[in-house]
Amino acid sequence: MSENAAFETAARLLRHRDRATADLDRRLAERGFDSDERAAALATLVRTGVLDDERFALERARSLAARGAGDALIRHDLATAGVEREHVQAALDELEPESERARRIVERRAGGPRTARYLAGKGFSEDVVRAAVAHANDDGIG
């Protein structure tokens, strides 16, 4: 194969959605490109701004938060994609606080054990779940 083929494949993989560098590298490796070909293609994409882990992390975090995800789920998703810890934290820092996101969900669903389980399953911290549900019920739980 060649560096040009690796670049073309990477560009095709980015055509419909943004990806983390590590994810794109893994996908190129799965397609049989060697490490030099992958590195050259990725370097070109980073240099031109097409591939940007910080942007990917922020946009992915915003998308997940808009769909009701808590910080733990977002952190896990970004780590699984291979995003470095500092980009993950920077993305989380840009989001509306987890407690506010949880409070909005509780307002839509009402408080109670089912909502608490729902929030926990969506990656909200135990403290945030407890506070949001307690606030909705106007009393503490747990």
Q: What is the pLDDT of residue 2?
A: 74
Residue 60 has pLDDT above 50, yes or no: yes
- 10 Å CB burial of residue 91 (0-12, 13-18, 19+) is buried
Decide if 54 contacts 64 (C-beta within 8 A).
Answer: no
Residue 96 scores a pLDDT above 80: yes
Q: What pLDDT band is residue 30 in, cutting at 50, 70 and 90?
A: very high
